[in-house]
Amino acid sequence: MAFLDRGARSAGAIAVVPAELYAISRSRFDDAVRERPSVGNQVFAVLARALRES
């Protein structure tokens, strides 16, 4: 959430199985959403699902 609204980070995460982590800067994310609006739609869909299930 903090990534999207530039607020304070509110949580951490610990992987319970092996995982790969990728990092993306805010400016690169903004560029990706401008180039392909579906990227933003997919991110918001995942966030909405996570909020609904919490």
Residue pLDDT, tens place only, 2-50: 777 777 777 788 999 999 988 888 899 899 999 999 998 998 899 899 8
How many Cβ atoms sit within 10 Å of the Cβ of residue 31? Answer: 13
pTM score above 0.75:
no
Predicted local distance difference test score (pLDDT) of residue 1: 66
Predicted local distance difference test score (pLDDT) of residue 31: 95
Q: Is residue 34 a part of any domain in this protein? A: yes
What range defines the domain where residue 35 resides?
A: 20-54
- Say how far apart CA 31 and CA 14 lie, in whole Å: 28
Q: Is residue 50 a part of any domain in this protein? A: yes
Indicate the number of domains in the chain. 1
Q: Is residue 2 a part of any domain in this protein? A: no
Predicted local distance difference test score (pLDDT) of residue 9: 76
Q: Is residue 51 a part of any domain in this protein? A: yes
Q: Is residue 9 a part of any domain in this protein? A: no
Predicted local distance difference test score (pLDDT) of residue 38: 95
Predicted local distance difference test score (pLDDT) of residue 20: 94
Q: Is residue 38 a part of any domain in this protein? A: yes
3 near 29, Cβ under 8 Å? yes
